[in-house]
Amino acid sequence: MLHIAICDDDAKAVLTHKEMTETCLKQCRSAGEIETYTSGDNLLYDIAEDHFFYDLILLDIEMPGNTGMDLAHKIRPYLPDVKIIFITSHIEYAIDAFELSVFRYVPKDDKDRRLPAAIRDAVKLIGLEDGKAYTIQTNSRLEKIPYRSIYYIERDGKNAIITTNSGVSKVRKSLQQVYEELDADEFIYTDRGCIVNMIHIMQIKDGTAVLKNGDALPISRSHLQEVKEQINTYWGTHI
């Protein structure tokens, strides 16, 4: 069951977006609950104070008070893995949307074509992510780590240290072996001793990858250009 929020100060747009979302859910054969808001403050209150959980949020940028950009910044600490689809009239916001790791940016003048495609892609990706996990198995324990929760993996002698949004796990395997077992495009080498999940990279700055959790990981000179190209290629299909 997916949990979806739609927020736009235009009540007519909210209704239109809800109908589109319901149609997309049927097309994807997915069940979902949809909450609608005409106030960004109400959406933020439900998430921050009443602990509402959402997998996907459709968010208008041009709203009075808290803009969509403001809301995205404030929502991220509570829902770090939520997919956000921005809907806006101003194309210049696309750059800021990239820095917020927004799933998709939809111009209002092409909304009828691009918004349904964005919703369907988000629903499919959420379903894939929910089923992808890295398994650590030893004689004494079995641990499954969802891909989306992994920030980065570092080499530590003969071990690999996996840093996630809930702590740190260790596996007695080489970094290359873990990378091959992950077998996912979102994991990239930033240097010989570190693999980063690029969905958590907020920006590349001064030769470092700045992540959503605040960590800044160095990128070796030999990897810098390749890292930038991989990020552009990966997110180019999502914005």
Residue 91 has a pLDDT of 63
pTM: 0.61
Q: What's the CA gap between 192 and 220, in Å, rounded?
A: 8
Q: Contact at 8 Å (CB) between 195 and 152?
A: yes
**For residue 96, which of 232, 208, 203 has the smallest C-alpha distance?**
203
> For the chain, which domains are there?
2-130 (3.40.50.2300), 134-236 (2.40.50.1020)
Residue 98 has a pLDDT of 47
- Beta strands per DSSP E along 18-79: 32-37, 56-60
Residue 164 has a pLDDT of 93
Q: What's the CA gap between 37 and 93, in Å, rounded?
A: 22
Buried b (16+ CB within 10 A) or exposed e, 81-94: bbbbbbbbeeeebe
- SS3 category, 65: coil
**For residue 226, which of 201, 192, 198, 189 has the smallest C-alpha distance?**
189
**For residue 129, which of 193, 178, 56 has the smallest C-alpha distance?**
56
Residue 188 has a pLDDT of 94
pLDDT tens per residue across all 239 residues of the chain: 899 999 999 999 999 999 999 999 999 999 899 999 999 999 999 999 998 999 999 999 888 888 888 999 899 888 877 899 999 887 665 555 444 557 888 888 899 999 999 999 999 888 766 767 888 877 766 788 888 889 999 999 999 999 998 889 999 999 999 999 998 888 999 999 999 998 888 888 888 999 988 899 999 988 888 888 888 887 665 44
Residue 239 has a pLDDT of 43
